[in-house]
Amino acid sequence: MSEPSAGLDRLFNPKSVAVIGASKSFAKTGTAILFSILAGGYKGEIYPINPKETEILGLRAYSSLNTTPTTPDVAIICVQAELVPQVITECGEAGIGFGIVISSGFGEVGKEGKGQEKEVLKAARIGGMRLIGPNCMGLVSSGASFYALMNMLIPMAGSASVVSQSGTIGSLCSIYGSEQGIGFSKFISSGNEVDLSTEDFIEYLASDPQTNVISAFVEGIKDGKRFIEVAKETAKKKPLIVLKGGVTAAGAQAAVSHTGSIAGSKAVYDAMVKQTGIIHAENEREMVDLVKAFSLLPLPRGRNIGVTGAWGGIAVLVSDACAKTGLVLPELSRKSMEELDKVLPPFWSHGNPVDVTGAGLGGDFDMLTKPIEILLRDRNIDAVIWMVPALGSLFERVAPRMDTHISKYFSKTALGSMAPQEMKMAKGIIELKEKYNKPLVAILIGLYGRNGTEHIRFLEENGVPVYETTHQAAFVLSKLVEYKEYLGALGN
């Protein structure tokens, strides 16, 4: 851990990679990872290592590391635990810089495994090799089209990065994120962290020009002092979202058998959050919600929120959610009030939230879009929460429960013709987003989930996040405000 993290460049941009333990059987993790590397479109050289095969997945297989045409930059090690030290020794002798140890059966299975970890580290140190894992799922580096995960996931490319001691939580974060318009630069499943640790990866990502937002799931922090230093330096440069597992006695107990981590007390972690500017996620949903918000939104100048939509009950809940998370719904400027009076029906709410009432659902949603622009222009308003209809897609769900001779009328109803209007509205919103540099967060009104809602995907891919609940929308904005204030206090 004394080497500078900048030395990790070759890990994330390998010219060639060996997969030790790939075979013809898809039941083997080595084969799954090899498949994933191919499926992700990696452009470097790939060397499957297997003494019994000459060809695997259409690639030439090599009997040993001595027979590959070039020295691989990275070796992915998928052999049984007891063979790992020997394989690492061979990698070191071959001059390979990095080993990603997928194999499990180490510290997470008790004392014996902990001993085994020491041997692994010793072999790596002798060979001058840096290790990721063991007991990890692999690594993604989208800039190099390098997707090497044993679960074969290929997240969308972009600029969020994740480091996770749990491969599952990192994977779910990157896949849930990909479904919601967030692209990823790096994902490191760091496993038991016998060598390279969360701190090392965060330090690297802090300086990585391809990474704008960093998210970490940690169970155990081995070097608390260094973690604080790294987190502090990182949070000055980019948002660092941390989800900590094992903050309760029960969770800490579970962490021991998961990654062999000593989770540390909640009090220590809470103090860490306060000192460092870390953005704290309470659970895996908050982690994804925050990665999305920090990936897509500019930071607001302050905590004054404008709210608008055609659904009064939701406006009430948004107002509650804002107040609960420390946000403020200020009065609107006189100018905004006058402009709203001009474009809205007489019975609009005449205040913030701007409830345009059901009248906003007629025509082409102009009445929903206009208040958004007025709010974005208002100098009293730092960010806008709006309600996006996803009603067109309701039909496909309602239709099966509908009498057939009735459903023929459906296309004549408002719902039957809403989908194209919704897309038109979304395009208008993206124009507004580009014109005004204020955070614009949507709450989905329609179907649970996103089936058939193309305009929602369009919005998110173009930088306007959509959340499913009032709480989520207010929560992420409150965290953007807190981070902005943290930077402000530092003089940034």
Enumerate residues 213-252 that contact a second copy by CB under 8 A. Answer: 217, 219, 245-251
Residue 298 CB coordination number (10 Å): 15
Give the nearer residue to a second copy in terms of CB position, either 263 or 432.
263
Least separation in angstroms between residue 397's CB and a second copy is 7
Closest CA to 279 of 359, 214, 325, 228: 214
DSSP annotation of 65: G
3 state DSSP class of 473: helix
Helix, coil or strand: residue 13:
coil
Q: How far from 480 is each of 110, 176, 338, 386, 476, CA to CA, in Å?
A: 41, 20, 30, 17, 6
Residue 474 vs residues 322, 325, 386, 470: alpha-carbon distances, Å: 5, 7, 11, 6
Q: What residue type is 29 in one-letter code?
A: T
Q: Is 393 in the site for a second copy (CB under 8 A)?
A: no
Question: Residue 424: which H helix or E strand, with range?
Answer: helix 418-435
Size of the site for a second copy (CB under 8 A): 99
Query: Quick one: 6 or 268, whose CB is closer to a second copy?
Result: 268
Name the residue among 73, 299, 292 with its Cα closest to residue 184: 292
Least distance in angstroms from the C-beta of 351 to a second copy: 7
What character string, x for contact with a second copy (CB under 8 A) and - otherwise, covers 246-285?
Answer: xxxxxx-xxx-xxx----------------------xxxx
Is the CB of 229 or the CB of 366 nearer to a second copy?
366
Cβ atoms of 240 and 279 within 8 Å: the answer is yes
- Binder to a second copy among 141, 164, 192, 478 (CB under 8 A)? 164
Per CB under 8 A, 468 contacts a second copy? yes
* DSSP state, residue 414: T
Which position among 154, 194, 293, 456 is part of the footprint of a second copy (CB under 8 A)? 154
User: In whole angstroms, how close is the CB of 204 to a second copy at the nearest point?
Assistant: 22
How far apart are alpha carbons 369 and 163 in whole angstroms? 38
Question: Is residue 406 within the footprint of a second copy (CB under 8 A)?
Answer: yes
Residue 406 has what DSSP assignment? Answer: H
Does 156 sit near a second copy (CB under 8 A)?
Answer: yes
Largest CA distance in the chain: 81
Site for a second copy in 301-340 (CB under 8 A): 311-324, 328-329
Residue with tokens 């002092």: 225
- Position 471 contacts a second copy (CB under 8 A): yes
Other Cβ atoms less than 10 A from the Cβ of 249: the count is 11
Nearer to a second copy, 33 or 91 (CB): 33
Could you say whether residue 111 binds a second copy (CB under 8 A)? Answer: no
Strands 55-56 and 59-60: antiparallel
Per-residue binding string, a second copy, 69-98, x by CB under 8 A, is: ------------------------------
Q: Cα separation of 390 and 451, whole Å? A: 10
Q: Which listed range, 115-123, 192-200, 377-385, 393-401, lies at the site for a second copy (CB under 8 A)? A: 393-401
Regarding 153 and contact with a second copy (CB under 8 A), the answer is: yes
User: Alpha-carbon distance 67 to 49, whole Å?
Assistant: 9
Q: How big is the CA angle at 213 (ends 438 and 375), to the nearest 5 degrees?
A: 10
Q: Which stretch of DSSP H or E encloses residue 458?
A: helix 454-461
* 207 is a site residue for a second copy (CB under 8 A): no
**Beta carbon nearer to a second copy, 281 or 426:** 281
What pairing do the DSSP bridges indicate for beta strands 55-56 and 130-132?
A: unpaired
The interface mask with a second copy, positions 4-43, x = CB under 8 A, is: ----------------------xx----x--x--xxxx--
Binding mask 174-193 for a second copy (x = CB under 8 A): -xx-xxx-------------
Nearer to a second copy (CB atom), residue 320 or residue 341: 320
With contacts defined by CB under 8 A, name the span among 335-343, 345-353, 421-429, 478-486 that binds a second copy: 345-353
Residue 194 beta carbon to a second copy: minimum distance, rounded to whole angstroms:
17
The answer to whether residue 449 forms part of the interface with a second copy (CB under 8 A) is yes
**What are residue 45's phi and psi, to 5 degrees?**
-80, 140
Which range binds a second copy by CB under 8 A, 8-16, 151-159, 197-205, 377-385?
151-159
**Position 172 contacts a second copy (CB under 8 A):** yes
Q: How far is the CB of 459 from a second copy (least distance, A)?
A: 16
